[in-house]
Structure 1
């Protein structure tokens, strides 16, 4: 099942890259902003609950799709770009095993525990 999930997320990553290709933006934007959603981890400096909320907000496929579709509907290419990057980044994180976070700990994700086992 683990390999099947990684293949599914790899397909999602390809979809995100194709969505970005439909925008008018140069690929250097993609490279520059690909890791930007990880800024949401700064929420963990407040506490786990705030950190999980902001992390999940910027790593949720549904949010990425809504942002992208809003860009399409409103003819705002920058929203399409942001949505495509959010989607691609989230898929890449899932390939690496980083899932959406539970509010008790950064290591506790919907894909299981991450990090070193104590």
Structure 2
């Protein structure tokens, strides 16, 4: 199984686990629906260009922030913080499961999960292609 498939399955697993945890903590359906796409508001930063946009988007689409918020919510016993963190994590997991990855500064469609970005960067000479132990660069 290739790494993209593994990362996509990992995302699906996170989505399922975070969603189950949210509802097991008594999170309301309406709040889940309201917050489900909230991290995508970060795409507005692309109005300032791809470099700024990718940094801002990635800041809202990495696991560190929602996991930290979940830790605070659980540690302080503030369940609504835990709900927000779990919806946020579910969003990121769903994104990864369908193939939306962390953005590269070369363009919105260039992500750590996109085949096109790898091909384009090899053609344009953006970064080295590092072969595996067998000498293959795919």
Q: What TM-score, normalized to structure 2?
A: 0.74
Is the contact made by 1:6 and 1:94 (CA closer than 8 Å) also made in structure 2? yes
| Structure 1 segment 39-78 matched on structure 2, within 5 A | 39-78=41-80
Structure number with greater Rg is: 2
- Unmatched runs of 5 consecutive residues or more in structure 2: 117-138
Give TM-score scaled by structure 1 length: 0.86
State the number of aligned residues: 117
**SS, match of residue 59 in structure 1:** coil
Contact 1:19/1:84, CA 8 A, preserved across alignment: yes
Per-residue displacement from partner, 1:36-64 (whole Å, max 9, x unpaired)? Answer: 11000000011112211221111111221
Matches for 1:15-54 after TM superposition, within 5 Å: 15-54=17-56
> 1:24 touches 1:77 (CA, 8 Å); kept in 2?
no
Asked if the contact 1:68–1:84 (Cα under 8 Å) also holds between the matched residues in 2, the reply is yes
Unaligned stretches of 5+ residues in structure 1: none
Cα shift at 1:103: 1.7
* RMSD, matched Cα: 2.2
